[in-house]
Structure 1
C-alpha cells in the first residue's frame, strides 16, 4: 500500500468515517489536495474494498478499511506521542517525522514503543490511540463550525494537519480550553470565540473551525 493511500485512510478515520459519511470536500481540505485527486483515490479505495462511497452523501470505511486505518493511526500517533513527550518536539513539527517513522518500524518495535510510553490512550493533538487489539473509545466528531452562537464547549482534539497545528499554535488555542462561541461571520468568515479561562477573544478561520473537534 502506498503512503498516499495510507494518508487517505487515516484522514477518513480522523474525520469520522468509521461511523458516518465523510465528504470529498472535507478530505480535500484536510490533505490540501485537489477535488479531482480525492475522487481518483476514493475510487481506488472502493475497488479494493477498503471504503464505500454513496453519491452526494460521501465516503466511509468498510470493516476491512477500518482495520487497516486503526493500525496506521496507532503507529502514527504512538510516534507523535514519543516525539512530543520524550524529544520535546512542538506539536506542529511531529506529523512529517511520524509519517517516516511509522513506515519503517517493525511490529516488535511498535509494541516496545507502546510499552515504553505506558500505553497512552491519546496522542498530543487529542486523537485516540487504538490498542494492539484495535480497542479504543470513540472520538468526538462534532466540530467547532457546527456550534451555535452562545454555546460553550471544550476543545477536544485537532485534525493532524501541519498547517492547522501551526495556525492554532499562533492562536494559542489548546486542548481542554473551554470557549464560548460569540459570532459566525457571513460568507465563510471567521468564527469569533471567547476563551473562558482568561476572557481572551479569538478569531478562528472558517476552514480551521471544521478541524477543531469539541465536546
Structure 2
C-alpha cells in the first residue's frame, strides 16, 4: 500500500509537471500536509493547489506586462498629492482611475506647463492598466522638443490606427489651440486633434509646479537634518 501511494504521488507530480503546472507541483507536499492537518476535503485541497498555480501565473503575467510597459516610476494614484496641486480635477482623475475610459477606446489628454504632475498622473493610470491587464498607449511630453521631419505625419499615423480601437493618454505643454503652430502642419494637427478629441477627457492643469515643490521639500528636509546635527 505504501509503495502504491508513493507511486501515485510520483505520478501526480509527473502529471503536474507534464501540464507545466510547476508551481502547483512545487506546492504539492505543502498542500497535502495541510489537507491532513486541517482535514480538508479532496475538493478543497484541489482548489488550494490550483489557486497557487493561478496566482503564480497571474504574477508572471503582471511582471511581463510591467517589463513591456517600461513605466519610468512605480507611481500609483495614491502617491499623488491632490492638495498640493489644486489645478487638478480630482473627481475626474479618480473617475479615470476606474479605467472605464478604456471600454469605449476614449483618450485622455493632460495639458499644462512643466512640472504640474501630468507625467505622474499618466504613469499612475498606466500602472492601473498594467494591474488590470488592459492595453493602453502613453505618449508623454509631446511638444517639449520639436518634432523631427515628418514627425507630425508619423504621429498622426499612430493616432489614426488607434482611433476608436484603443485608448491613448497624451501629455503636452502645448495648448490645444496652439497645436497647428507647434507641430508645423496645420492640416495634420487638426486631423490628430479631431481623432484624439472625438472621445476624450481633457484635463487642463494650471497650478504650481508639483516637481519643484518636491525639490523644495527635499532641500528643506536636508537643511533640517544638517541643522539638527550642528546643534
TM-score by length of 2: 0.22
Structure with greater Cα Rg: 2
The structure showing larger relative contact order (alpha-carbon pairs under 8 Å, at least 6 residues apart) is: 2
Higher helix share: 2
Higher strand share: 1
TM-score by length of 1: 0.23
